[in-house]
Amino acid sequence: MASSAQSGAHGAQGAGVKRRDFLYLATGAAGAIGAAIAAWPFIYSMNPAADVLALSTVEVDLAPVQTGQRITVKWRSQPVFVAHRTEDEVKAADDVNLEELRDPQADSARVKKPEWLIMVGICTHLGCVPLGQKPSDPRGEWKGWFCPCHGSQYDTSGRIRKGPAPANLAIPQYAFLTDTTIRIG
Amino acid sequence: MSEPAWKNPAVKWIDERMPIFTVMRHSAIEYPTPKNLSYWWNFGSLSGFMLVLMIATGVVLAMQYTPNSELAFDSVERIMRDVNYGWLLRYVHMNGASFFFIAVYIHIFRGLYYGSYKTPRELLWWLGLVILILMMATAFMGYVLPWGQMSFWGATVITNLFSAIPLAGKHIVTWLWGGFAVDNPTLNRFFSLHYLLPFVIVAVVFLHLWALHTSKSNNPLGIDTKGPQDTIPFHPYYTVKDLFGLGVFLIVYLGVVFFVPNFFGEPDNFIPANPLSTPQHIVPEWYFLPYYAILRSIPDKLLGVIAMFSSIFVLFALPWLDFSRVRSARFRPVYKKVYWLLLIDVLVLGYVGANPPEGPILYVGRIATAYYFLHWLVIVPLIALFERPKPLPTSIGTPVLGAAAAASARTMEKA
């Protein structure tokens, strides 16, 4: 009888320890998940707010932009470069062996109409605005854009050719509403 | 420690319920300090003074500043022109950041020379590095608040560092900005965090002091104190020494505040932020220049960012990279030489960071970057392995008193 009482007590104790372990883990896990869920609104509140997102499209009239001219438009508080390219510039962008590019992309894949190059004017290195919009700006060896911060150079298709930037200048979503109007975003 | 008998009944009443006066007496008055500390040991308390001064001026400045991208620049100019003593408070705060870093960098290099990071002070060293990282974040966000051209483009370049993170990088940057570029939401959150982080620093400073008072101060000989004959109470000996050092420090600091307040500034920051035009030459504040040089020396974006952050993270491993059991460079002839080489290397990196990365500067930057990591990861462990240190004195008193006198001082103390 003594032995059965002992084994009973032992059994109860063994099961108790396991049950306790499970309860500790389950409580801890529930607490951790709850804390993570509670933290989410705090973290997500720092993402762009509805009014910031609402500024996401802008329409541009291209009619006054002459051949060879480059203009800057503000979209989502970022500069967008709109370049009315000359035939020479288009030809220079086309006549490139894609294998020598860091971020290979054909010029035709970067434009909807060859004479209009539309891209986000932010260097893909660390976010500076490259020079080259004004005729007096330095434009680099490939006559495109030149970033003054760390010396990245882009060609007439906005592709990275030299310097630390890893990628070509980004192409935003845009559509031609008419022959001379675009909507960016 | 014997319980001090407090005579003042009010003090006694409080102390019995919460021994705050006993703790203060224990850690700020009686605290046994090695009797041979040099003036290089002033820079801890100087850093503490600067932290308090930055918080005091910052709290008052925040009463006048407006964290809005349309109004921020003008509100800072209003502080400078219209607010009573606004010019003084702002110049003290603005130059205070520079002098806070001067004090902290000297404090760190003191620790490197005398081996203050070695056992049993590893945790103390780590907490100091955490304070440094928090300071850098705070200083960076504070620099953005005046919303000048350098503020804006500095913020753009530094936040863009996170875009180098594979896959999530772009989302992280958008999250940091609260938009698609550095803009009003970014300015608002930077202001909030710039106000918060100094108080986090205060908390970590308390942990730093707790660790210090557990393992006790290192000293120029780098040997352990062997008993009461090697120490003196913190007050009045080191309170007075620290106050004298503070006076000298303030002469230099306030000299800059009153006579060349824009010495550390950038002319471009007097131009309001313009998101469509990047200044020709973006430079961070001087205290970030060596890290910036490391970033730019690596031709790959992600690796550059990793190298820059590693330049501080490598210091966390220092107590194990330098496993020589002799602390002070006084007794380490080889380590002492490379210590000065490292200091020169860091100054060269600072010079490189201030100049455009072109021509010879680019190569100097690459060599200096390579040497920086070589120092911690190869040279320091090799020295720990092969160096033959000079014999250590038997006690803190020996080098001054001679062995016999130090021994007799010890017996007198015991008698």
> Catalytic site residue B163?
no
Hey, are the CB atoms on B156 and A150 less than 8 Å from each other?
Answer: no
Task: Please tell me if residue B175 touches chain A, with a CB cutoff of 8 Å.
Answer: yes
Residue B410: pLDDT band (50, 70, 90) is low
For the cut 90, the answer to whether the pLDDT of residue A54 exceeds it is: no
- For residue A83, count other CB atoms closer than 10 A to its CB: 25
Q: Please state the rounded mean pLDDT for residues B66-84.
A: 96
B180 to chain A: nearest residue by CA? A76
pLDDT of residue B336: 97
pLDDT of residue B412: 57
* Per-state percent for chain B, helix, strand, coil, to nearest 5: 70, 0, 25
Count chain A–chain B contacts defined by CB atoms under 8 A.
82
d(CA B14, CA B21): 8
**A145 neighbourhood in chain B, CB within 8 Å:** none
For residue B410, give both structure tokens.
């010890």
Residue in A79, A127, A165 closest to B276 by CB? A79
The set of residues, in sequence order, having a beta carbon less than 8 Å from that of B357 and lying 6+ positions away, is: A150, A151, B296, B297, B365
Total residues found in chain B within this entry:
415
pLDDT of residue A53: 83
Residue in B177, B180, B301 closest to A166 by CB? B301
User: Which is more confidently placed, A185 or B317?
Assistant: B317
From the list B241, B297, B324, B375, the catalytic residue is B241
pLDDT digits (tens, 9 = 90+) for B151-205: 999 999 899 888 888 889 889 999 999 998 899 999 999 999 999 999 999 999 9
Q: What percent of chain B has pLDDT over 90?
A: 83
The set of residues, in sequence order, having a beta carbon less than 8 Å from that of B93 and lying 6+ positions away, is: B54, B57, B58, B61
DSSP B189: H
**Catalytic positions of A, please?**
150
Phi-psi region of A34 (alpha: psi -120 to 50; beta: other; left: phi over 0): alpha
Domain chopping of chain B, boundaries: 38-224+232-282, 283-396
Looking at the DSSP bridge assignments, the partners of residue A71 are A82
pLDDT digits (tens, 9 = 90+) for A174-184: 999 988 899 98
Q: Please state the rounded mean pLDDT for residues A40-51.
A: 91
pLDDT digits (tens, 9 = 90+) for A105-124: 888 889 998 889 999 999 98
Q: Please state the rounded mean pLDDT for residues B368-379.
A: 97
- Please name which of B158, B266, B174 lies closest in space to residue A149, comparing C-alpha atoms: B158
For the cut 70, the answer to whether the pLDDT of residue B302 exceeds it is: yes
For the sheet with A174-178, list strands across it: A58-61, A181-184, A174-178
pLDDT of residue A9: 46
Q: Please state the rounded mean pLDDT for residues B137-141.
A: 96
Task: Please tell me if residue B161 touches chain A, with a CB cutoff of 8 Å.
Answer: yes
DSSP A108: G
Hey, are the CB atoms on B280 and A148 less than 8 Å from each other?
Answer: yes
DSSP string computed for A128-163: ---B-SSTTS--TTTEEEE-TTT--EEETT--EEES
Q: In Å, how far are A143, B212, B259 from B252, measured between CA atoms?
A: 50, 28, 10
Hey, are the CB atoms on B156 and A126 less than 8 Å from each other?
Answer: yes
Hey, are the CB atoms on A164 and B176 less than 8 Å from each other?
Answer: no
d(CA B89, CA B74): 16
> Catalytic site residue B208?
no
For residue A147, give both structure tokens.
């970033």
CA atoms within 13 A on the CB side of B196: 7
Contacts 24+ apart (CB under 8 A), B72-77: B72/B145, B72/B146, B72/B147, B72/B187, B73/B146, B73/B147, B73/B148, B73/B272, B73/B273, B76/B145, B76/B146, B76/B147
For residue B116, give both structure tokens.
């203050």
Residue in A48, A129, A164 closest to B278 by CB? A129
For the cut 60, the answer to whether the pLDDT of residue A1 exceeds it is: no
Are the beta carbons of B54 and B198 closer than 8 angstroms? yes
pLDDT digits (tens, 9 = 90+) for B362-373: 899 999 999 999
pLDDT digits (tens, 9 = 90+) for A160-175: 988 888 889 999 989 9
pLDDT digits (tens, 9 = 90+) for B319-339: 999 999 999 999 999 999 999
**A48 neighbourhood in chain B, CB within 8 Å:** 174, 177-180, 185
Total residues found in chain A within this entry:
185
B186 to chain A: nearest residue by CA? A46
For the cut 70, the answer to whether the pLDDT of residue B415 exceeds it is: no
Rg from Cα positions in chain A: 30
d(CA A33, CA A38): 9
DSSP B4: P
Are the beta carbons of B30 and B227 closer than 8 angstroms? no
**B181 neighbourhood in chain A, CB within 8 Å:** 76-78, 122
Residue in B160, B179, B357 closest to A48 by CB? B179
Hey, are the CB atoms on B178 and A127 less than 8 Å from each other?
Answer: no
* Per-state percent for chain A, helix, strand, coil, to nearest 5: 35, 25, 45
Hey, are the CB atoms on A48 and B281 less than 8 Å from each other?
Answer: no
User: Which is more confidently placed, B298 or B240?
Assistant: B240
- Please name which of B141, B218, B246 lies closest in space to residue B186, comparing C-alpha atoms: B141
Looking at the DSSP bridge assignments, the partners of residue A120 are A80
Query: Is the CATH code 1.10.3720.10 the one for domain B38-224+232-282?
Result: no
Hey, are the CB atoms on A78 and B181 less than 8 Å from each other?
Answer: yes
Residue A7: pLDDT band (50, 70, 90) is very low
> Catalytic site residue B358?
no
Hey, are the CB atoms on A149 and B282 less than 8 Å from each other?
Answer: yes
pLDDT digits (tens, 9 = 90+) for A72-95: 988 888 899 999 999 888 888 888
- For residue B108, count other CB atoms closer than 10 A to its CB: 19
Task: Please tell me if residue B275 touches chain A, with a CB cutoff of 8 Å.
Answer: yes
d(CA B41, CA B220): 9
d(CA B50, CA B131): 13
Hey, are the CB atoms on B275 and A166 less than 8 Å from each other?
Answer: no
**Complex prediction ipTM:** 0.76
**Of the ranges A144-153, B137-146, B316-325, B371-380, which one carries the lowest mean pLDDT score?**
A144-153
d(CA B248, CA B243): 9
pLDDT digits (tens, 9 = 90+) for A114-158: 889 999 999 988 888 999 888 888 888 888 999 888 788 899 899
**A150 neighbourhood in chain B, CB within 8 Å:** 296, 357
Q: Please state the rounded mean pLDDT for residues B216-244.
A: 95
Pick one of 1.10.287.980, 3.30.9.10, 3.20.20.70, 1.10.10.10 as the CATH number of B283-396.
1.10.287.980
d(CA B158, CA B173): 10
d(CA B238, CA B40): 12
Does this model's pTM top 0.80? Answer: yes
